[in-house]
Every structure is written in C-alpha cells, then in structure tokens.
Amino acid sequence: MTDLLRRRIRYGWAIAAPATLIVVGTALVIAWAVAGVSAPSRDASSVPSTAPFLSAHPSAPAGAVGVTPQSTGLNLAVSATPSVICSTAAPACPAGTDVARVTLSANAIGGGDLSWPAVQIAFVVETTPYDGVYDASPNGGEAGSDPCATPSYSGRILCEESNGVPFFAAHAQSVADAIQQANPHSQVSFALVDFFSTGVYPWDDGDGLPYHVDVRQFVPASEFGTDVTNSFQRQVLNGAYAYPDSDLSDSFLHSSSITALYGTITGSGLAWTNDTHHVIVWIGSTAPRDPSYPENYCVSPHELSTKFTGTACYGEMCEPSFGFPGGVSPRCEGWTHSTDGVAGDSIAALAHTARACVSSIGHVCTVDTIDLWNTPTDPGSPGWPTNRTNGGPNGAVVYQDSVNILKSGCDLAAATGGTWNGPSWYTCPDGTPGSLSYVAHGTPSDPTLSNPTLLAALTHVGFGPVVDQEAAGPSARPMFLFVPFGNIRVAADPQASAACTRAGIPLPTCQQNASILHLGDLVTLGWNFSSNASYDQMFVGDQWTASFDVVAVGPPFATVPVDACITSACAVAGSAAAFGSYTSAAFVPDANDTATTISFPVAAVLVELPPSPTSPTTLPPPPPALPGSSVAAPPVIPVLQSVASAAANTVGLANVSLQAAAGGFLAAGFTRVTVRNREVAMRIAARVGPVSRYERPTPDQPTGVGRFE
C-alpha cells in the first residue's frame, strides 16, 4: 500500500455521531457511528474488569498531576483543582466547595517518518515599476523624479530597474524544470498569481490589480511555461514585458502583498489539493502595509514626493479589506503578527491555520521570499533623488526604507519555515545572506532576459517540512475519553471546554465542545482533536487540553481517584477500569498503523468529612406551675457543654437546664438522708380498749411501754 493511499484511508476515519448504548444479554456495548470504517474488534479478555473501590495510596496525593510518558505518539497528563472538596451529599464541609476542575492534556511527540511528498508551488509575482515592468513607451509612464528616466514619456528606463519579471515571464519553463530536477523525489506542480496595486491616494493612482490569478490549476513543470505565456505575458504584460501605464504614480515601496498572499494562502481562485505540500514563492521588492515596515515616499522618485511632508510622506500602514469570492479578508491584516488586536490576523498565522495549509502534508503553507535587486532594495541606487532631506543614495531615510523592505521578506520566510534570498549586500537578522547580483533591465524594447543568480535562487527555494511527523491519527472512537471513577461524577453542568494548538497557533477546527457519552450509569466525555474529519490528526508539536467540572456524590471521605485509569500508578492509587473502559487516548500511531489505546495517569482529590450532626436547637416548653402555687417554674436556661465527637470535633450542646439540675441535687440529698437514718421504736401516748398482754406492766417495766407485735 502506498503512503498516499495509506494516508487517505487513515485520514478518512472520523466520528460521525455520539456513542450509542447497546445491551446484548447482560453485556453493555458502546458503539460509535464511524464514517468509512468499523470499530476494530477487541478480545473481551483484554478489557480490564471493573475493580472495587480502593482508598488512594499515600503516593498519589490529592490534586497531584499525573503524566503518562511516551517515546513516540502522545504524552498524557491529568490534574484536578482544588485538591480538597466536599461531597454533594454533605456539602457543608470546611473545603467550602463540592466542585473540582479536571484538566486533561496531550502533547504529540516523536520523530516522524521520512517521506517525499508531492509539492504544489504557487508563484506570487509582484509587478511594480522597478520589478521590470515600467511602461517606458512615449505614450506610457510618468517618470516622476527618477534621474535616469526623466523627462516623463521620454522612453528612458528607470535607474536600477530589475529584469526580474521579464526573466520570469520568458523562462517560467526553465524555472519549473530546474525546481523539479532539484527535487527528483517529489512530484512538483505550479500555479501563478500576480499583484501590486494598493489603490490608495496619493501613493498609488489605482490603475492596477491587488490580486490576479494567472494559472489556476497546478500543472506539471512540462506545462507551466506555456501556461505562463498564454496567461500572464499575453494578458497582463500586453504580449511583451511591460505593464501598461506602470509608472511612478503607482506604488513601489509598499504594495498589496498582504492581500495577494491572503488570497493565495486561502486558495481564492487556486486549486490547492490535499495530500500535497503547499509552497508559496513570493517575488518582489516592496514592504507590506504593516506598522512594522514604514516606507517614506518623500525621499523617493514618486511623482508626488515633493508635495508632502511629515507623516503624510508615509504610505498607508493598514491593509484594507478585500472581497474574495469566498469571503472578505480582515482589515489591517498583519504580516508576521496581528496588528488589529485579533489573535491570528496575520499572514504568518494564516499560513499555519488556513484550511488549505492545515490540510497540506506539511500542515503549513511554506512561504519562500525573494527580494529583487532594484532601487527600492538598494539604498545606494542613483534612483533616489538627491534633493531630499536625509535622502539621496545611502541617505538615512533611504537606507531605512530599503532595510524595512528586505527585513519584511526575511521575517515572513522565518515565520513560515521558508527560505529568503535577496541582494548580496544584505543579511537577514537570523544570519541568512543574500546572493543576488544586480542585472540591468536593458532597453525597453529588448530587455535582458538572463539572470543567473535569480535562477539559482528560484531553483533552491525551500519546501519546508519534507518529513511526515504525524504522531496520532484517528481511530474508531473519540481520540480522547474521560471516564470518572468511584463516586466521582461529571458535574450536571460540566462547563467543558477544549483547546488545540499547532505550531503554537490555535487550530481553527478544534473540537471545543465535549461529546456527552454514557457508560452504564456513568456520564463520560469525549473529544476529537478536530471537528473536521480531514484534520483529525495530531502532528509532532501539537497540543490538546480539555477542562471540565466533576463532583463527589458520596463517600468514602478520603483521598480518592478522580479518573478510571489502568496504569501501575492508577492501581496503587486505587483506580481501575469502569465498565471495561477508562480515561484514555485512542489513536493510530504513524509508526505502525495499529490502533492504540493508552491510559491517562491518575489524579486524586480529598473528599472531606462533613461535621457531625448537631442536636435540635428548639427550646422545650416551659414547665407547669409548682404545686400549690400560681407561679410557674423558672424557664429553662440553656447551658453550652463541650462534648467530644467520634471525629474529635468539639460541638456545643444546649442539653442541660438549671431547673433540672437543681431538682436532681435536692432529690439526691433526700435520698442520702433517708439512707442514713434507720427505723427506731418510738413511744406513743395512746390506748383504746383492753390492754394487750404485751402491754401490761412488768417488774422490769412498771410504766408499761408498748411493744411491736
């Protein structure tokens, strides 16, 4: 099976529907509807059984961050915050909350497989006057203040006008052949876009095009030359090498490069295809309209350069919106960084996030930049008028204009993994030297069509990534799954969210909302890396995180695992699979194309013991009035007494009254008196009726004291 076919099969897998519960006999089966593939069979003996709840081992403290390390594929981690919560069954605990926020994360790692992808190259060719298309005909261009071309309409050529565009138009076939021969392992195809006009007064008269597609279909090298001649040369350059009415009333220090690259990257009018790597080769000599690259026209030979001063000398530094057939570009789109306050609104970011770029094999649109050697990029050119403050050849402002142009080319190439080349006098901030030599344009009717250093620069444009670095492809279930454990449950409103980044830039198709799945009586959560099946792969450097709320619905009141998991650390912490499933990542690694499921590590929280229940605090009714009195007994006065509970908590109890205590003390006193005084015989002075024989006087008792019978 070829690499291309392998990728097409794998990339076609996607989750098309939520999980469905199917009961077969007494077995519970989870089935996912999958587009183009059935779930791989799994031996029941390989599914861990549900384990009874175990208290967490001290080696898994509450709130600890767990990490499952891998050498290739995905590194997984999980954490829970806060580390101490109450149970929803008894929420009044010192922790003060019964909700913990769980965070899952996955980082794609590995070296990737060496591959030689097919490559599509879109040339984006600038057509400002100094690029080699100045209309020097007697009825053509306005010469402005260029010393070599004055007076206007004289038919003279501009100072240091490059022959870059005439060379490209004449030798497009040779350029395509050279690139293909330099990359024999890749099938290379080509398309073409041209641009230049900003259309903003006073530095552009608006008679040009900010974006124009010449060769829409990506054609093989053998066809590219013919297509360029039939479209670009015949229709744009009027069958020769000059752009009609191209003169010094047009923009040539700034251009519509942001609009042109926006349209090219997003594929407006171009037939980008998947399963190829996408490369853009920008050729020009201007700065983008971005605040980082200001251009002062008052030191230039522009027709209106002597009519303005101060800040009015600078070209517009905000790219206006442009209406493409598929939508409108943002206003003030940046070059390498956002300038409108919206993250991702830059050409460099777009090269990482546009669908045409994300779906390419390199998962980025590589932008190679080539700055032609001409007056705008050469501060020493005689084309800079001398009668300007800080102007003229090598003037301070002139030098800054040229450096801003060249630096912008360096910056974009570096931000997208591309290459830069330009005048040999300049070196990029990252140390990349230019290698282009100046080649004079020649006469208007017979321009010079040879440029060896430019051909060499084009031959060696970079393709960016040529290594397939996929770490995880889609399998037959959600790529990420959370399964709670024990009495931990997903909160009724989990407020689940997810984020995905590629090369540090948010992935626009990230599946941010979790899929709610059911496993027995458990609610579980599932995610894919991308909500679009075509982009549901993670490549080396990609990152995924998801967060959501969980609660504890009952005891034990101890440190407990949050997630069902099956690593050795999970077993120590007391976690295991639940209903045969566990918190995991399921994917197809690029290394062996075998579906793999790996467990997330364990996180734990302390479910805190609630306080002991307290006695009722309602007071008893007042006692009845004392016998023989109309005055009621005094009311009961509660007295707080410290009682030690089983949990060693001190609880105040209102369970003793002074009246009851006093009554108890009196009763105890009477009892003691009764016990201490024994029964004795007493004389009784009373006699009625006959005297008993026991009561008659005797010699010993003449008084006749009675006796008990």
Q: Which of 114-123, 245-254, 622-631 is the least confident region?
A: 622-631
pLDDT in tens, 297-316: 999 999 999 999 999 999 99
Same domain as 102, residue 189: no
Average pLDDT of the residues in 544-559: 94
- Domain limit, last residue, from 465, 500, 534: 465
Query: Over the chain, what is the mean pLDDT?
Result: 81
Which one-letter DSSP state was computed for residue 6?
Answer: H
Distance CA 508, CA 532 (A): 10
pLDDT band, very low/low/confident/very high, at 656 (cuts 50, 70, 90): very low
Distance CA 376, CA 158 (A): 12
pLDDT band, very low/low/confident/very high, at 541 (cuts 50, 70, 90): confident
- Domain limit, last residue, from 442, 465, 488: 465
Same domain as 130, residue 76: no
Same domain as 70, residue 141: no
Residue 599 lies in a domain: yes
pLDDT band, very low/low/confident/very high, at 464 (cuts 50, 70, 90): confident
Give the per-residue pLDDT at 69: 66
Same domain as 363, residue 429: yes
Give the per-residue pLDDT at 408: 98
Question: Is residue 610's pLDDT more than 60?
Answer: yes
Nearest to 536 by CA among 475, 595, 597: 475
Model confidence pTM above 0.75: no
Exposure of 316 by Cβ count < 10 A (0-12 exposed, 13-18 middle, 19+ buried)?
middle
- Residue 504 lies in domain: 3-113+469-607
Give the per-residue pLDDT at 700: 56
- Domain limit, last residue, from 430, 465, 500: 465
Average pLDDT of the residues in 646-667: 39
Average pLDDT of the residues in 317-331: 95
CA distance readout (Å), 519 to 335, 376, 562: 49, 67, 16
Question: Is residue 578's pLDDT more than 90?
Answer: yes
Give the per-residue pLDDT at 360: 84
Does an H or E element contain 243, and which? none
pLDDT in tens, 332-365: 999 999 998 888 899 999 999 898 898 887 788 9
Average pLDDT of the residues in 635-648: 40
Average pLDDT of the residues in 402-418: 96
Residue 665 lies in a domain: yes
Same domain as 582, residue 488: yes
Same domain as 167, residue 100: no
Residue 90 lies in a domain: yes
Nearest to 160 by CA among 393, 403, 371, 440: 440
Same domain as 600, residue 580: yes
Total structural domains within the chain:
3
Q: What is the residue-wise DSSP string for 655-681?
A: ---HHHHHHHHHHHHHHHHHHHS----
Same domain as 443, residue 300: yes
Residue 377 lies in a domain: yes
Q: What percent of the chain has pLDDT over 90?
A: 60
Nearest to 102 by CA among 131, 68, 77: 77
Same domain as 603, residue 654: no
**Left, alpha or beta for 267 (phi > 0: left; psi -120 to 50: alpha)?**
left
pLDDT in tens, 12-70: 323 233 333 333 333 333 333 323 322 333 233 332 322 222 233 334 566 656 666 66
Token pair for 136: 């020097």
Residue 373 lies in a domain: yes
pLDDT band, very low/low/confident/very high, at 287 (cuts 50, 70, 90): very high
Give the per-residue pLDDT at 90: 79
Same domain as 407, residue 280: yes
What burial letters (b/e) apply to 529-558, b meaning 16+ CB within 10 Å?
bbbbbebbbbbbebbbebbbbbbbeebbbe
Return the top range by mean pLDDT from 24-28, 94-98, 109-113, 319-323.
Answer: 319-323
Give the per-residue pLDDT at 470: 76
Better-predicted residue by pLDDT, 636 or 651:
636
Exposure of 146 by Cβ count < 10 A (0-12 exposed, 13-18 middle, 19+ buried)?
buried
Provide the CATH number for the domain around residue 590: 2.60.40.740
Same domain as 454, residue 552: no
Same domain as 124, residue 41: no
Residue 704 lies in a domain: no
Residue 489 lies in a domain: yes
Residue 703 lies in a domain: no
Give the per-residue pLDDT at 371: 98
Question: Is residue 661's pLDDT more than 70?
Answer: no
Question: Is residue 484's pLDDT more than 60?
Answer: yes
